[in-house]
Amino acid sequence: MTVRERLREKISAAFYRHGLLCASYPVPIILFTSASILACCYPLLRLPLPGTGPVEFTTRVRDYTVPSHEPQGDLGERPDWYRGPPVAYIQQVLVKAAVSPWDSTLVPVDVFRSPLGRVFSLLEEIRNHVHNDGSGVRSLEALCLQVTDLLPGLRRMQTVLPEHGCLLVSPGNYWQNQRELFDSDPDLLKTVHQHEPKGLHTSATLRDLLFGVPVKHTGVSLYSRKRVVTYTITMVLGSYDARFLSSLRARLRQLHPSVNCSLREDHMVHVHFKEEIGMAELIPLVTTYIILFAYIYFSTRKIDMVKSKWGLALAAVVTVLSSLLMSVGLCTLFGLTPTLNGGEIFPYLVVVIGLENVLVLTKSVVSTPVDLEVKLRIAQGLSNESWSIMKNMATELCIILIGYFTLVPAIQEFCLFAVVGLVSDFFLQMFFFTTVLSIDIRRMELADLNRRLPAEAGMPPPKPGPLRPREAPPPPRPSPYTITLQTPAFRNLRLPKRLRVVYFLARTRLAQRFIMVGTVIWIGILAYTDPAGLRTYLAAQVSEQSPLGEGGAGGLPPHLGVASVFPGPGGDPASTLSVLPAPAEPTPLPENQSQGHHGAPREGVPHQAQAPPLVPQISWGAEDEEGWRRLSFRHWPSLFSYYNITLAKRYISILPVIPVTLHLSPREAIETRHPQDTRHPPPPSLKTNDLPADLTLYKVAALGLAAGVLLVLLLFCLYRVLCPRNYGQNGVAHGRRRRGDLPCDDYGYSPPISEISPLLLRGHSMDIECLASDGMLLASCCLAGQIRVWDAQTGDCLTVIPKHGLRRSSSSGCWEQRDGGRVFDEDEGYPLRRRTTPRPALFEDQPDLTPLIDTNFDSQPPSHLLLTPPRDGFDFGGLVERAYLEHEPPSPGLTASYPSPSPPSGPPPQRRRSLGYIQPPVPQGQGTPDWESAVWAMELRGNLIAAGRSSGKLELWDAVEGSLRCSNEDGVSGITALAFLNNRIVAARLDGSLDFFTVDINKPLGLLQYRGDNIPPSPCYSSEDVISCQLTRSVQCAHQKPITVLNTHTHTYQVSQCGGQDGAICLWDVLTGSRVSHVYGHRGDVTSLVCTTSCVISSGLDDLICIWDRSTGIKLYSIQQEVGCGASLGVISESLLVTGGQGCVSFWDLNFGDLLQTVYLGQSSDGQGVRQLVVLNNAAIVCDFGSELSLVYVPSVLEKLD
């Protein structure tokens, strides 16, 4: 146990040091890692590229012996596959035939009918050829490769391909090798064509197989220009007999001498075929790769909380891939050549090595404390996970070790690779990935800092005190109000299915990516399998151009470099001949002989007589020497595959061709004619020669055009179906309302921006601190303490309650609060949080007091204020107080005079039956305590204004008359938030407690019964009523920090919410005063709270708007706003949220969290942020900009309601 723990400690310490190292020197370490990766991958260069193309090896015919199975020491250049006998030897007889001289009486069919007809006699000749020497009689039957059934799926080829016998293919197979069938065939071309597959084909077709030369070169066509027919008779031999073959060669040569033929006959080419990837193999392979990609996707998706997700994901994948490459490289270096199919085992290797460690590392590092230094974070994250990483690694190594002892070679090899891969992966994780991670984390912190800095600059420095000099106003943030939508973890979009599908497609660009990937894969497959023989073609090109190839007498392209073993074998043909036994001894065959003689003289005479273009030239060039090269490299595998013989990982030997030249007389051609042949129209001269090619071109073009038109039409229809609405109609109200259904931001549509000039309510001299409304009336209170009551419909100012404001605008209370707030902030350890303040009125706008003092109380010169040392805020409070004192005389007068003009004209004190703490002794009793306190919270219900003061006093004012109706001084701690609900008032205090008050109205009508229902918006308290306010219940320590917001909602439950500076949001039952639920969501203070029937919306200092489910208390989603914008919130309807910004308001769809519209509020409010926002009767929005109120009617909101 102790050993284990000691080990654990040691490992942890080592990882810690290593993390420090990596984070300290990122660049050198990355360089070092890259260098080591490259060094380890270097041996890979020596490995042949994996490919399916065949590999060739050339030997001489003369001293050829079947290679033995055992590797015989060092055989020089001999490749390792060249062992044992080949699958088959291929002997081709290349026939070039022409009717010469060409007669104008001949029809086009004559070009190929009689030359093809000669194949039967040739076949007979070959079949019957017998070589007899001392050792015995050999015929083709004995030597050839005997084949059995064709594959079951190839029944249709049964008539054409040989079964149960020698594998001997020639064009004669089309007619079952029977001359009679050929002669009676009215249309040869049709017979040939009917076996062709329809459509595109990349591999060998039957025609290629039988003719043995590419279709183009056969000359079997009505439009052949050269009038030379070329075809081969292909013999597939099971065993090699040099003497038989050479006698056959000599015999054919004797029968059909090729005059100008100088083909080299001394080399045989062994072609080794790689394992072929067929469709059947490709499907599982593709499946494994898809699974692999899904694995990588799901793994890297978990990387979170980093600067660049993609970068880290890439780094993770690079880590795994390069560790695999390194493992292969290292294994090669130590002499282990991979025999496994790399492509097949690769996905499994990746899966075995896995991305888990990388993810665990990332997670661990990310979850370390943010305030640590990057170095330490990396080190700590590493050391936290060190033990589990080591444990996992040990387990995996053990498993692989067990796998090694299965003693199955393939599994052993896999395990070996896996072990080396695991070790190198560990190395890369430790060096490469950790370093990348450290860089990333550093970048993130830098970005974080940058994001925070402007915010900090915009905030008044906390030390200098509230009266910040005017010369340094907060720099206006020039950035327009933009909202960055944080994609929530899930978004339940209530969209039509089709739109969702289309949005998904559009968002992920799935179609494009799919097509792109498809194209890349297709091109890759094409390049890989090389069906068009591109590689061969290129090799041929290269060999033609290179001097080496020319030096080699034009033959033998240097494939694979093996060919260079035999440089320039000059005059060997003769030697080959000399080896041959005396030709034509055993087989008399007089018939053939005579024919051959017959042809020869004919050939000679007209050659000179006829005009040159009429004599088809039969020429033998270097390209004929290895005519099979021009075929698809699948030619042989597919031929063998028909008989279920695989050439994969095996080789065949191709013997030098036997050239046969046939010259036929026109007479013979006419004799062999079929009666129907003449019906073919004669070729309409040279012009038509290009016709077929052109025709296909036109066909392709027409098809392409048609397809394009069809596609366009289809897309158009699709568009009409999917997008029936006109998105362009911006101004039409109907269109905008529809827009509400569409989530905009997430899909690249920018939400519309419009401008409205609001109705401005002016009158306050200082910044507005509190705003309250009950729909009809609107009460506002500015920093100076002046309360104004407005008509919410017209914007007229109804009442002004000024005096308390003048008194109380002394900022002593605020100072206290401010200091408290700062202390709290520092306690919480969020130094950065301080820059934004939740209640601008309370904290941030403190400095704005200066303008007021300057303008209203001229006695205080600004310089005087400037000189005040920053630390003594209280002194300064006293200073201001003194300034107020000078104006004291007018203020009582004001108090006295104001109530009087109002109709009820100052309620007579005797009427009020005081029920406790009442006002009648009013003005003085009130004035004294109010002297020092500021209004921190205000609520308006009916015609009662509830005002909470910093002194802890709760006051009820008559909104119309402007008279104080009631006051309660139960608490000492300042009231930071108020909620007025029916006859209940909830007050939140600075000390975090929550007080529940009941308002009793002594009136016979018994308005008490209103609980549970909505209060009628009309004023319901007449001035005659005696109003009392009683503390019914108090909850101490509701929050641990001051409560900043309080809100009530009466729809379904009587619940009030409050959010505190501790970032908590509590739901309380108003009736009982008990807490219903409690959620934490914000990292700083909660600054604003609204609710609908289903959800609670809160915003906090962190500029995050959170939407919570009300009943369950679970966060649905959150919206990250711009810095400093999150304070004001309002709900217009169940699904429409309005937030304030810099000179604008934004509308959000609550269901989806999407920005619907941003409305700029005229010029006057530019650059000023909305601090408070109140929604009136769901029809208008009131927001404050400094000392002005803006009343905005939003037309779309009205629509939204119906």
Stretch that binds another protein, among 226-234, 295-303, 927-935, 1084-1092 (CB under 8 A): 295-303
State yes or no: residue 1118 binds another protein (CB under 8 A). no
Stretch that binds another protein, among 346-354, 700-708, 772-780, 1118-1126 (CB under 8 A): 346-354
Kindly state the smallest distance separating residue 230's Cβ from another protein, in Å.
29
Q: Are 1038 and 993 in contact (CB under 8 A)?
A: yes
Q: Nearest Cα to 421, choosing from 344, 328, 301, 340?
A: 328
Q: Which residues contact 457 (CB under 8 A, 6 or more apart)?
A: 475
Number of residues engaging another protein in binding (CB under 8 A):
53
User: Which is nearer to another protein, 155 or 720 (by Cβ)?
Assistant: 155
Kindly state the smallest distance separating residue 168's Cβ from another protein, in Å.
21
User: Which is nearer to another protein, 421 or 596 (by Cβ)?
Assistant: 421
State yes or no: residue 281 binds another protein (CB under 8 A). yes
What b/e sequence results for 284-322 when a residue is b if at least 16 CB atoms lie within 10 Å of its CB, and e otherwise? eeeebeeebeeebeebbeebeebbbeebbbebbbebbbb
Q: Rounded to 5, what percent of the chain is helix, strand, coil?
A: 45, 20, 35
State yes or no: residue 292 binds another protein (CB under 8 A). yes
User: Which is nearer to another protein, 193 or 1078 (by Cβ)?
Assistant: 1078
The most distant pair of C-alpha atoms in the chain lies apart, rounded to whole Å, by 154
State yes or no: residue 741 binds another protein (CB under 8 A). no
Give the Cα-Cα-Cα angle 1035, 1037, 1043 (nearest 5 degrees): 95
Helix (H, G, I), strand (E, B) or coil at 830: coil
State yes or no: residue 151 binds another protein (CB under 8 A). yes
Helix (H, G, I), strand (E, B) or coil at 865: helix
DSSP for 1116-1184, written as a single string: EEEEE--TT-TT-EEEEETTEEEEE-BSEEEEEETTTTEEEEEEE-TTTTTTPBP--EEEETTTEEEEE
DSSP 44: G
Site for another protein in 56-75 (CB under 8 A): none
State yes or no: residue 275 binds another protein (CB under 8 A). no
State yes or no: residue 1058 binds another protein (CB under 8 A). no
Kindly state the smallest distance separating residue 405's Cβ from another protein, in Å.
10
State yes or no: residue 1109 binds another protein (CB under 8 A). yes
Among 65, 490, 1004, 1163, binds another protein (CB under 8 A): 490
Stretch that binds another protein, among 255-263, 317-325, 395-403, 689-697 (CB under 8 A): 395-403
Q: Are 544 and 538 in contact (CB under 8 A)?
A: no
User: Which is nearer to another protein, 154 or 1071 (by Cβ)?
Assistant: 154
Residues listed for the chain: 1202
User: Which is nearer to another protein, 277 or 444 (by Cβ)?
Assistant: 277
State yes or no: residue 284 binds another protein (CB under 8 A). yes
> What track of x and - describes contact with another protein for positions 647 through 686 (by CB under 8 A)?
-x--------------------------------------
- Going by DSSP bridges, is the β-strand pair 89-99/651-654 parallel, antiparallel, or unpaired? parallel
Among 61, 355, 563, 945, binds another protein (CB under 8 A): 355
Site for another protein in 614-643 (CB under 8 A): 641-642
User: Which is nearer to another protein, 1023 or 1092 (by Cβ)?
Assistant: 1092
State yes or no: residue 299 binds another protein (CB under 8 A). yes
State yes or no: residue 867 binds another protein (CB under 8 A). no
- State both tokens at 58: 């050339």
State yes or no: residue 501 binds another protein (CB under 8 A). no
Rounded to the nearest 10 degrees, how much is the dihedral formed by the CA atoms of 924, 928, 933, 939?
-20
Q: Nearest Cα to 293, choosing from 325, 327, 328, 321?
A: 321
Kindly state the smallest distance separating residue 1051's Cβ from another protein, in Å.
16
Kindly state the smallest distance separating residue 296's Cβ from another protein, in Å.
8
Kindly state the smallest distance separating residue 237's Cβ from another protein, in Å.
22
State yes or no: residue 529 binds another protein (CB under 8 A). no
Q: Nearest Cα to 301, choosing from 440, 489, 447, 433?
A: 489
Kindly state the smallest distance separating residue 82's Cβ from another protein, in Å.
22
User: Which is nearer to another protein, 283 or 707 (by Cβ)?
Assistant: 283
Among 72, 184, 287, 1074, binds another protein (CB under 8 A): 287
User: Which is nearer to another protein, 342 or 583 (by Cβ)?
Assistant: 342
Among 42, 310, 334, 348, binds another protein (CB under 8 A): 348
What b/e sequence results for 965-987 when a residue is b if at least 16 CB atoms lie within 10 Å of its CB, and e otherwise? bbbbebbebbbbbbbbbbbbbbb
- Going by DSSP bridges, is the β-strand pair 658-664/89-99 parallel, antiparallel, or unpaired? parallel
User: Which is nearer to another protein, 148 or 492 (by Cβ)?
Assistant: 492
Q: Are 562 and 57 in contact (CB under 8 A)?
A: yes
User: Which is nearer to another protein, 36 or 412 (by Cβ)?
Assistant: 412
Q: Nearest Cα to 793, choosing from 834, 768, 759, 745?
A: 759
Cα–Cα distance for residue pair 1021/1039, rounded to 1 Å:
33
State yes or no: residue 718 binds another protein (CB under 8 A). no
Q: Are 364 and 16 in contact (CB under 8 A)?
A: no
Among 1094, 1120, 1135, 1164, binds another protein (CB under 8 A): 1094
Q: Are 543 and 549 in contact (CB under 8 A)?
A: yes
> What track of x and - describes contact with another protein for positions 399 through 438 (by CB under 8 A)?
x--xx--xxx-xx---------------------------
In the sheet that 1064-1069 helps form, which strands lie side by side, from edge to edge? 1043-1049, 1055-1060, 1064-1069, 1075-1080
Cα–Cα distance for residue pair 273/82, rounded to 1 Å:
11
User: Which is nearer to another protein, 492 or 730 (by Cβ)?
Assistant: 492
Kindly state the smallest distance separating residue 192's Cβ from another protein, in Å.
22
Site for another protein in 1004-1033 (CB under 8 A): none
Sign of CA pseudo-dihedral 1184, 1185, 1188, 1193 = negative
State yes or no: residue 716 binds another protein (CB under 8 A). no
User: Which is nearer to another protein, 13 or 408 (by Cβ)?
Assistant: 408
Q: How many CB atoms lie within 10 A of CB 498?
A: 11
User: Which is nearer to another protein, 504 or 1080 (by Cβ)?
Assistant: 1080
Among 204, 670, 778, 1116, binds another protein (CB under 8 A): 1116
Kindly state the smallest distance separating residue 151's Cβ from another protein, in Å.
5
> What track of x and - describes contact with another protein for positions 1125 through 1154 (by CB under 8 A)?
--------------------------x---
Among 1077, 1098, 1146, 1158, binds another protein (CB under 8 A): 1077
Among 163, 183, 266, 344, binds another protein (CB under 8 A): 344
State yes or no: residue 347 binds another protein (CB under 8 A). yes
Q: What is the 3-state secondary structure (H, E, C) of 1004-1030?
A: CCCHHHHCCCCCCCCCCCCCCCEEEEE
Q: Are 108 and 680 in contact (CB under 8 A)?
A: yes
Stretch that binds another protein, among 687-695, 830-838, 924-932, 1071-1079 (CB under 8 A): 1071-1079
Which residues make beta-bridge pairs with 937? 948
Q: Is 770 left (phi over 0), alpha (psi -120 to 50) or beta?
A: beta
Query: CB-side exposure of 1021: number of CA atoms within 13 Å?
Result: 28
- Going by DSSP bridges, is the β-strand pair 975-981/964-968 parallel, antiparallel, or unpaired? unpaired
Binding residues for another protein (CB under 8 A): 151-154, 278-281, 283-284, 287-288, 291-292, 294-295, 298-299, 301-302, 344, 347-348, 351, 354-355, 399, 402-403, 406-408, 410-411, 490, 492, 641-642, 644, 646, 648, 1077-1080, 1094, 1109, 1111-1114, 1116, 1151
